[in-house]
Amino acid sequence: MLQRASKACRGSRLTEAFTVEEQRILEPYFTNLDKPVFAFTSRVPEEVVAVLFSKYSRSAHSIRKNFLDLVKDPESGFKGILESIGGSGSNDAFAAALMKARDFFRRILVEYGDDSVGELGIAHVACEGVSQIAAKAIESARLSSPLEKSTRYVVFDKGSYYRPAAIINSKLAAEYATVCDELFETYSSEIEATKAFVREKWPISEFDFNGKKISGMADEAETKRAKSAYESSVKAKTLDILRYYLPAASQTNLGMTANGRGFEYLISKLMSDELEEIRQIGQMMHEELSKVVPSLVKRAAPSNYLVETKKAMHSFAAARLSGIKIKKQPTVTLVSYDKDAEIKVVAAALYQFSHHPMTQLRKMAKKMTADERIKAIDEYMGRRSNRRERPLRAAEAAYCQFDVLSDYGAYRDLQRHRIMTQIPQLLTVEHGYDTPPEIVEAGFGEQFHKCMKKAAAVYRKIAAEMPMEAQYVVPLAYRIRYIMQFNLREAYHLIELRSTPQGHPSYRHVVQEMFRQIKAVHPTLVHYMKFVNMDELDALGRLKSELRKEEKMAAFDKK
């Protein structure tokens, strides 16, 4: 007998009707059977999701109807998978059903022949014990969501650094290990003393917890919680200071989520890298993803185009730029920007709310008076009440490009923003390094400079023979040069987020300079970038931010 589904929402068509038996089959795999909006449960393999979504383009049937067809089709092997997941099948039966199903899915994906099908299946990968250099290569993928072990919250253990075979099998192996060991040893040995320095410079008496001075609290439990929060803040600030010692070889852990198409391109890129570590990670990623979404990463392979292009450009650049002295420039330089940005943004803002062609709107915007354009921009951006309310997409009509020279630690943080064009140069020691003022104030300045110079000396020896591998020995204090090109909308997000008081001083300086330079050329367009924090770069905001997090946790625990 048919059981009719109720209306999903007033005014909509009736959703599908399923038999009782069909409902029994479907219920474990979908969040509802009676609404036009639903989700897959975690029981549905990602390749199945990809196949079902791909059918939207060539089938008049719904997802749930096509799901039932898969179950009923003896060629799909899908019934065997569901039985195994439900607990009624053996491991051998599941493996056989899965192999049969994957062959079936591959045929469908080949038949549909659309790269976008690869975007319909999601996978999750963990990469552990990878260097900072490799982590940045992995995280450069735009179509991914990575999360990495933090240098702010986690103490990096002695000896946890990558040892590239090219260096370890060379005459420079001992020097490489010695300088990495010394960097880690110095980092570790200064933790407790730096904590003491932080406590003295920013004593607990200066901070509030839940609106009360920590030093004057009467409630014992609350006092304990507040002191614990303060100590967590001290640790975070300490590790922020000392991360400058860590070499780029420092091993980290990261996890990432991406769709099949994103992984396919990333794996090909990793497999084509100049560094052996990154190539190996690409190979391992391919092997592991082939176990869970083989149909979606089957085409991933080393790219001769990438390999040969990089070789050719290294040679061309070396020949063309050899002997040309590098000019000095500020930390942040606005290289280029749209001189008619206001016209572009106003025209794009009007476009969405009109029926006129863009060429006509551009001409109209150009003829407007300055006050008229300001009025249009005010209507478009002026109602923002917090930094999460970004301007609408017309703000993407204007672009700017910055050339940045910051310490590698700051680059690691800013590199997370992938809705832009980022082009880093190789990590080197030739641009010098940044010295945290707290290291000098704490009495470790001499030791810090000694470590930096030792690392530079070993870097130069390795770079003479292995310029790519030489990057591993460079501490995070050393500067790297990179291009950041983004539209005005992303500028709002990047600058407002990274200028907050809890931000690390090094990248706060970068985005504050970006704001000053954009404001100099586009004062009207950044007038509504009103959540930029231009306060002095000090640690109080950072420490207070940590305390606020603990306050939220305390409130959550009470609930």
User: What average pLDDT does the segment 276-301 reach?
Assistant: 90
pLDDT the model gives residue 8 = 42
What's the pLDDT tens digit per position in 262-278? Answer: 899 999 999 999 999 99
Predicted TM-score of the model (pTM) = 0.85
Lowest mean pLDDT among 198-207, 443-452, 492-501: 198-207
Indicate whether 3 pLDDT > 60.
no
pLDDT number for residue 9: 45
Q: How confident is the model at residue 495 (pLDDT cuts 50, 70, 90)?
A: very high
- Report CA-CA distances (Å) from 471 to 62, 311, 318, 457, 466: 53, 18, 18, 13, 9
Average pLDDT over residues 536-555: 66
DSSP 82: H
- Which whole number is the average pLDDT over 140-146? 83
> Exposure string (b/e) for 377-414, b if CB count within 10 Å is 16 or more?
beebbeebeebeeebeebbbbbbbbbbbbbbbbbbbbb
- Check if 124-297 and 325-427+478-528 are the same fold: yes
Residue 535, H or E segment: none
For the chain, how big is the Rg over CA atoms in Å? 28
443 has pLDDT over 70: yes
With CA atoms as reference, report the closest residue to 25 among 85, 102, 93: 85
Identity of the residue numbered 501: P
pLDDT tens readout for residues 455-472: 999 999 999 999 999 999
Contact (Cβ atoms closer than 8 angstroms) between residue 554 and residue 217: no
Distance separating alpha carbons of residues 8 and 331, to the nearest angstrom: 57
Q: Helices then strands (H, E): number in the chain?
A: 23, 11
Q: At residue 114, does pLDDT exceed 80?
A: no
What is the number of alpha carbons within 13 Å of residue 551 lying toward its C-beta? 13
Find the mean pLDDT for residues 14-40. Answer: 86
Q: How confident is the model at residue 96 (pLDDT cuts 50, 70, 90)?
A: low
- For 306-352, the pLDDT digits (tens) are 999 999 999 999 999 988 999 998 999 999 999 999 999 999 999 99
Q: Where are the domains of the chain?
A: 2-120, 124-297, 325-427+478-528
Q: How far is CA 460 from CA 248, 368, 456, in A?
A: 15, 58, 6
Beta-carbon contacts of 331 under 8 Å, excluding residues fewer than 6 positions away, are: 404, 405, 406, 509, 510, 513
Mean of the per-residue pLDDT values for the chain?
A: 87
Quick one: pLDDT at residue 296?
79
Q: Where residue 512 falls among pLDDT bands split at 50, 70, 90?
A: very high
Separation in Å, CA 319 to CA 122, 314, 322: 44, 9, 6
Give the largest Cα separation in the chain, rounded.
84
Residue 386 DSSP class = S
How far apart are the C-alpha atoms of 510 and 168, rounded to whole Å? Answer: 36
Q: In terms of pLDDT, which residue wins out, 406 or 214?
A: 406
> What tokens does 114 get?
């659309």
Residue 191's pLDDT is what? 97
CA–CA separation, 422 vs 207, rounded Å? 39
**Can you give the length of the chain in residues?**
559
Under the banding of pLDDT at 50, 70 and 90, the label for residue 305 is: very high
**Residue range 482-499: mean pLDDT, rounded:** 96
For the segment(s) 325-427+478-528, the CATH number from 3.30.1360.170, 3.30.70.100, 2.120.10.30, 3.90.1300.10 is: 3.30.1360.170
Give me the pLDDT at residue 82, please. Answer: 65
The segment with the largest mean pLDDT, out of 109-123, 253-267, 419-433, is 419-433
The arithmetic mean of pLDDT across residues 393-401, rounded, is: 96
399's enclosing H/E stretch is: strand 399-407
CATH 3.30.910.20 is held by the domain 124-297? no
Q: Which of 8-17, 296-305, 521-530 holds the top average pLDDT? A: 521-530
Cα separation, 63 vs 15, whole angstroms: 12
How far is Cα 495 from Cα 509, in angstroms, rounded to an integer? 10
Q: How far apart are CA 478 and CA 492, in angstroms?
A: 28
